[in-house]
Chains A and B, each alone.
Chain A
């Protein structure tokens, strides 16, 4: 691949991953809010204190929607990617802890788009998303040095 084709490929991949994260977090965030009662019940079945579960039922969907919203604007995209990575890191770490049997029991799986996945499948999907988010994070951190075919104004 020539350098221009490679650059174009990675630029398109970056846009695709950002779009995927927007779709994912808007979907999961609003899905939790639309079914807040069920989401609270799911959290009550997790090995965390009830007061914390009640607070997290609001905090997690709000953070997901904030992350997705940040990704919509060029100026806040980096912050959105960072927040996405933190959220995905928390979810992945939590699932990892469940798989390592660090909790006395394995609670029911989370709702939303992952309702039908096993914990193992959920973990693999999350790891993939973390990898893709890291890819975008490193690309956004790198200052553009040459004219990009997608950003001729640079």
Chain B
């Protein structure tokens, strides 16, 4: 039977303890799930958004972003929500590739 290296075992236990002490803390706030998708007058899909990181939000703490597919889906702290031009609540981690931001500025490259 191969012998375990005791000094390395101690290092390993230290690593596990450090990982436990520094484990990511779940947000104590209640997180809600939101979808936001808006149709423009010509029927194309547009997304409203802003960069939450520039507002001091921390990814994984204040919000979790699920990769936008057809619809932007997030879970986020409802007390830190924003409204778009039509009064809908929305959360976006990145400025979308097409759409307008919450100040009404067109951000589309298309």
Contacts and interface: CB of A to CB of B under 8 A. Distances in A.
A34 B24 contact: yes
Interface residues of A, number: 33
Contacts, number: 86
A38 B59 CA distance: 9
B23 A35 contact: yes
A12 interface: no
Interface residues of B, number: 28
Nearest to A53: B67
A29 to B, nearest CB: 8
Interface string B51-85: 00000000110001111000000000000000000
A27 B18 contact: yes
A38 B11 contact: no
Nearest to A105: B94
A61 to B, nearest CB: 10
A147 B101 CA distance: 71
A23 interface: yes
B67 A50 contact: yes
Nearest to A41: B64
Interface in A1-55: 18-19, 22-31, 34-35, 37-39, 41-42, 44-45, 50
Interface of A: 18-19, 22-31, 34-35, 37-39, 41-42, 44-45, 50, 68-69, 71-76, 105, 108, 111
**Top-5 shortest CB links A-B:** A26-B15, A35-B24, A34-B23, A30-B19, A75-B2
Given A31-B22, A44-B64, 6 more contacts: A27-B15, A35-B26, A39-B24, A44-B67, A72-B8, A108-B93
Interface of B: 2-5, 7-9, 11-12, 14-16, 18-20, 22-26, 59-60, 64-67, 93-94
